[in-house]
Structure 1
């Protein structure tokens, strides 16, 4: 009979590369692990690994078991965590994955009122899932995905929660600082500062530069928004950001947000979750708060504080 330990062995051997390392990770003796594998192969009537010198290579049956392990084990771990929380009187935890660098600042505005309204739910933000969140949702590693570019797949649901405009940010002394809107050809001599993301996921390329057949003089990647805007303010380049974020920085730094093209670039932030989870009350509540206008959230927070 296929058991959880068998899936864990297959997963750890694939991850660590040897039976010895897998046995250590699973707190088993190597003989016990080897016995479990041999017994499973006898029950299944097929090999799981083929030996190639000192290394192991999964057979077709082993590859299938690895896929099952990667899908099932995270679900079992999540179930155990949730049941443990219920046993301790906790409501649960909400794990949020980020697929959008500048969305982090937006998310902070949602988390604060959410925690005030749901004191028995913990929130964990996992930024390591940037630009790989669909797999994290299917793998039960996160419960919500924050993304401006939803990838609709069976079993997932995406809800638009926030509208924004993508703009170009330049220094106040830049030659373009006072134009009504920016044209693609005006960026041919510019250093474009972006997040470390593939070009096909950058709106300024896909919706503005590439349709016009234009490329900037040079592209420079920077991980953090603060450093990016410091570079822009120092006239080391220009950057594309959401208008709401650019205006927050413009209030304290010498930078200016400009419309990209005559009509601008309209975008939305989406929250994605698994279809099976859409009716979980504390998850549904987070989506609801995210869709509230900012003044409504602030008003609720002030009333909550006054009642204490």
Structure 2
């Protein structure tokens, strides 16, 4: 009764706002698309979408089908792609999702030897997901998730790949540059520069500032690590980053890592995957490579 084309139609109607535009995207005639929707509505006994002027609005039933389409269509697309790869003798594609902004330098050093070892595997990296990192794994948008904050849920497995320390980054001329460690109160007059991530997912907030009831004078977000550290080096703010990354940049920028609190903030980077996919050779090989010390990477940093 319910077919893939119905889910695709609902998805495109929501995206395009009209049957005509949806028909163009799906490469079918408007009359064929309308007929499919009317037949489905008759079978289900409820409207899927309602016309409002020249546009269409999904009903409650249509919204439910839209949610189903968001979950099911990516799985079907992945299944078809994998079967096509099997039929053509290809290895496949590895889609990596990033929830760790500063981990790109580490990832590049892993990807290079991996591509040499697996020449028939394509690697794609995604940072923005329709459902968020965990949802992207469940929704088959990605195959591996790089994250410092794993959520252990049934059907997923997370493997730690390296340890690191989250530190405060200041300019070499900053008064805190010579401190053994900083306390939350030291940041109440600082401009704190972070990646554009919700504050409840930032360690500098949830493990350092908020428990002490402290807020920085100003919070500024920057997407790229290079620009962030250039701002810090010029004395325009402070940031919180992994120590290994700061030490890499310290050789070419006047930036200094300072411990956050007396004991510091210890973190781990994990790779998450669907348990059902762990027997895929090229996926398992990437995880195993990521767990090994690779020259220039922060694996098992003290």
Q: Tell me if TM exceeds 0.5.
A: yes
Alpha-carbon distance between aligned partners in 2 of 1:3 and 1:132, rounded to the nearest angstrom: 27
Q: Matched residue of 1:128: which SS?
A: coil
Q: Does 1:26 align with 2:65?
A: no
Contact 1:98 1:130 in 2 (8 A): no
Q: Which runs of 5+ in 1 are unaligned?
A: 298-308
Q: Matched residue of 1:158: which SS?
A: strand
| CA displacement at 1:295 relative to structure 2 | 4.4
| CA displacement at 1:130 relative to structure 2 | 9.7
Q: Does 1:142 align with 2:142?
A: yes
Instruction: Write out aligned runs for 1:92-171 (5 A).
Output: 92-129=92-129, 132-171=132-171
Alpha-carbon distance between aligned partners in 1 of 2:39 and 2:12, rounded to the nearest angstrom: 18
Alpha-carbon distance between aligned partners in 2 of 1:184 and 1:8, rounded to the nearest angstrom: 51
Between 50-59 and 172-181, the greater mean CA deviation after superposition: 50-59
Relative to structure 1, is the Cα distance of residues 95 and 151 closer, same or farther in structure 2, using a 3 angstrom cutoff?
A: same
Contact 1:168 1:241 in 2 (8 A): yes
Q: Does 1:176 align with 2:201?
A: no
How many residues in Structure 1 have an aligned counterpart in Structure 2?
A: 297
Alpha-carbon distance between aligned partners in 2 of 1:127 and 1:63, rounded to the nearest angstrom: 26
Q: Which residue of 2 aligns with 1:267?
A: 267
Instruction: Write out aligned runs for 1:1-308 (5 A).
Output: 1-129=1-129, 132-295=132-295
CA-to-aligned-CA distance 1:245-288 (integer Å, 9 cap, x gap): 00000122111111111100001111111121122111111111
Q: Matched residue of 2:177: which SS?
A: coil
Contact 1:98 1:129 in 2 (8 A): no
CA-to-aligned-CA distance 1:90-131 (integer Å, 9 cap, x gap): 101100011121111111121112112212211111122399
The TM-score with structure 2 as length reference comes to 0.93
Alpha-carbon distance between aligned partners in 1 of 2:8 and 2:295, rounded to the nearest angstrom: 49
Q: Matched residue of 2:128: which SS?
A: helix
CA-to-aligned-CA distance 1:131-167 (integer Å, 9 cap, x gap): 9212221221111111111123332221111110000
Alpha-carbon distance between aligned partners in 2 of 1:296 and 1:66, rounded to the nearest angstrom: 45
Alpha-carbon distance between aligned partners in 2 of 1:38 and 1:71, rounded to the nearest angstrom: 23
Q: Which residue of 1 aligns with 2:300?
A: none
Contact 1:187 1:215 in 2 (8 A): yes
The TM-score with structure 1 as length reference comes to 0.91
Q: Matched residue of 1:110: which SS?
A: helix
Contact 2:167 2:240 in 1 (8 A): yes
Contact 2:10 2:66 in 1 (8 A): yes
Alpha-carbon distance between aligned partners in 2 of 1:131 and 1:162, rounded to the nearest angstrom: 26
| CA displacement at 1:296 relative to structure 2 | 10
